[in-house]
Amino acid sequence: MSRVAAQQVESRFREKFPSSASLYERAIELFPSGVTHDSRFLKPFPVYVDQAVGSHKTDRDGNDLIDYWVGHGALLLGHSHPAVVEAVQQQVGRSTHPGACHELELEWGERVQQLVPSAERMRFTNSGTEATLMALRVTRIVTGRTKVLKFAGHFHGWHDQLIPAASPPHDDSGYATPGVTEGVFGDLVIVPPNDLEAAAAAIQEHRPACVIHEGNGARWGVVPARAEFLQGLRQLTADNDTLLILDEVITGFRVHPGGFQAHCDIVPDMTTMAKVLAGGLPGGCLAGRADLLDVLAFGNPLGKKMKHPGTFNANPLSAAAGRAALEVVATGEPSRIASERAAALRQGLNEVFAARGVGWVAYGDFSAIKIIPGYDGPARDGDDWIPHDGDYRRLDVKFDDDLGHAFRCALLLQGVDWMGWAGSTSAAHTDEDVDATVDAFARAIDLLVADGMIAE
Ligand SMILES: Cc1ncc(COP(=O)(O)O)c(C=O)c1O
């Protein structure tokens, strides 16, 4: 928040969150930029949370905050869901790491198998990043090919092979990622999102081992992908003997108990999952066709065994939390409620933006709410509308940094913890939360206008 004008927000922020200010002084002596995840970075300092229940968090100064981070997407059921808490409490005294096979991993895996159409076999990992890394290697062993086709803006975790082109700017210079070797980068084929023709041409030209697609589109649907596109992509990859990986780390169990693939009525060859999968504890998984996952089996017919160790794979606390969470997810209610609350919020926010005349817009699918400040494209037309006619070069852009920090601080001052320019609901969010959030946005915008950060 370097603009001199943003003084009101900053001074009030320092007043309201004094404990966080002093904790951050310790943090900057420990962690680069004082944070342990890039997106938690906030100027002048992030807010330190002490406790969280349902849709609310309480910070170190006792401030109540309505939460739209939902555990980076992991908490579809909200914070501290009683079934998850009980499952973890029961397990923690029994064994946190038996260093052995255990029954909970079976119950967890069987639940995944029941819910997710493509999950004939699976292996648990510790994160979504590990799951996508594993998926690529499986496809390379099976096909003997090396290239991977991904879509511009799609995020699949931070490992070398898929981090390039995971965020804007969408040009070749923006895609070269510091620390990723040219060789690794050269194995990637990057095509525009939602462009079946470009994908078809790239498959013909490069013969990739696989195509990987992020659930319902770039970074939680910033550039939304619709069922028709996924159906087309499934057909295209099948026709061209190319494996299709659907990365459902966000969408898995969130948009539908069976994930985005169930919503689209497709069966990808393999699926990566994490977040909701482990009920709010660390955990991921690669699931898919039995003949593909077979490369992980000893003595498999290919004669090439893919190594897969991992100290905490299927650890019993994650298994207990995941099994408990997926039992609730299976009813379909959590995804329905979370999506309903997000739609109400998108509507309410757009009314506030129109009333304040700030030219902002809210959009998004399922339980995601995306905001574009200073929107200048075609007018909004219903809840399934996509801004800028879906043009990813206009939709997926980096907004003003100073405004972004000021906006988050202004919202925190009004009791809302918003995740950058996006937020997500859980099944614990209530109608009252939605109304309170809409009011909080109105007051936050007034503050930003008063501080000269935005014009009415
Ligand atoms: C679609 C997608 N894939 C993979 C990942 C990486 O998962 P993790 O953070 O568990 O490594 C994420 C994380 O946000 C994600 O959104």
Q: Long-range contacts made by residues 175-180, C-beta under 8 angstroms, separation at least 24? A: none
Query: Nearest 5 degrees, angle CA 102-CA 107-CA 113?
Result: 130
To test the pocket of ligand 1, the residue of 155, 161, 220 to mutate (highest count of ligand atoms within 8 Å of its CB) is 155
Q: What is the pLDDT of residue 5?
A: 46
Cβ–ligand 1 distance for 218 under 6 Å, the answer no
- pLDDT tens profile 165-181: 999 999 867 788 999 99
If one residue of 125, 126, 271, 275 were mutated to test the ligand 1 pocket, choosing by the most ligand atoms within 8 A of its CB, it would be 275
- Shortest-distance atom of ligand 1 to CA 220: 16
Question: Is 113 in a helix, a strand, or coil?
Answer: helix
Please report whether residue 455 resides in a domain: no
Indicate whether 406 belongs to any domain: yes
Domain boundary among 301, 329, 357: 329
CATH number of 421's domain: 3.90.1150.10
Last-in-domain residue among 329, 358, 390: 329
User: Is residue 253 a part of any domain in this protein?
Assistant: yes
Q: Looking at the domain assignment, is residue 1 inside a domain?
A: no
Tell me the average pLDDT across 366-379.
Answer: 96
Distance 241 CA to ligand 1 centre (A): 27
> 150 and 122, same structural domain?
yes
Q: CB–CB of 115/254 below 8 Å? A: no
Interval between CA 384 and ligand 1 midpoint (Å) = 24
How far is CA 115 from each of CA 150, 257, 287, 340, rounded to the nearest angstrom?
A: 26, 6, 12, 21
Is 202 a pocket residue for ligand 1 (Cβ < 6 Å)? no
134 lies in the same domain as 227: yes
- The strand pair at 416-417 and 64-67 is best described as parallel
Q: Tokens representing 180?
A: 């990723």
Among residues 329, 364, 397, the one where a domain terminates is: 329
CATH number, domain of 172, equals 3.40.640.10
Q: Quick check: is 2 in a domain?
A: no
CA distance 266 to 227: 9
How many separate domains does the chain show?
Answer: 2
pLDDT tens string 207-226: 999 999 999 999 999 999 99
Give tens-digit pLDDT for 78-129.
999 999 999 999 999 999 999 999 999 999 999 999 999 999 999 999 999 9
Cis peptide before 164 (omega within 30 of 0): no
pLDDT reading at 202 higher than 60: yes
Q: Which domain holds residue 347?
A: 7-78+333-450
CB atoms < 10 A from the CB of 70, how many? Answer: 28
329-359 burial, b at 16+ Cβ within 10 Å, e below that, comes to beeeebbebbbbbbbbbbebbbebbeebebe
**Measured CA angle at 40 (ends 38, 45), to 5 deg:** 115
Clarify whether residues 280 and 203 are in a common domain: yes
- Are residues 99 and 245 both part of a single domain? yes
Q: Give the mutation target among 150, 216, 250, 366 for probing the ligand 1 site: most ligand atoms within 8 A of CB.
A: 250
**Is the per-residue pLDDT at 29 higher than 70?**
yes
| Domain match, 366 and 238 both | no
Q: Report the distance separating Cα 190 and Cα 118, nearest Å.
A: 25
- Examine residue 441 and state whether it is found in any structural domain, yes or no: yes
Residue 250 in contact with ligand 1 by CB distance below 6 A: yes
318 plus 436 within the same structural domain:
no
Residue-by-residue DSSP string for 148-161: EEEETT----SSTT
Note the pLDDT of residue 6: 59
**Closest ligand 1 atom, CA of 214?**
1
Alpha-carbon distance of 421 to 419, in angstroms, equals 6
Q: Are residues 187 and 318 in the same domain?
A: yes
CA distances from 196 to 82, 190, 220, 264, 387 (A): 44, 13, 20, 16, 20
Ligand 1 pocket member 125 (CB < 6 A): no
194 and 53 in a common domain: no
Q: Is the CB of 247 under 6 A from ligand 1?
A: yes
Asked whether residue 456 is domain-assigned, the answer is no
- pLDDT (mean) for 445-453: 92
Do 183 and 304 have their domain in common? yes
Look at strands 148-151 and 210-214 and give their pairing. parallel
Nearest C-alpha to atom 13 of ligand 1 is from which residue? 157
Are residue 200 and residue 101 in the same domain, yes or no?
A: yes
Q: In 3D, which of 315, 340, 341 has the Cα closest to residue 98?
A: 315
Does residue 398 sit within a domain? yes
Asked if 39 and 69 sit in the same domain, the reply is yes
Instruction: Kindly report the pTM of this predicted structure.
Output: 0.97
- Residue 7: per-residue pLDDT: 79
Average the pLDDT over 178-193 and give the result: 96
What sign for the dihedral angle of Cα 301, 302, 307, 309?
A: negative
- Ligand 1 neighbour 437 (Cβ under 6 A): no
Q: Give residue-wise pLDDT tens across range 341-365.
A: 999 999 999 999 999 999 999 999 9
Residues in the chain: 456
Specify whether 90 is located in the same domain as 39: no
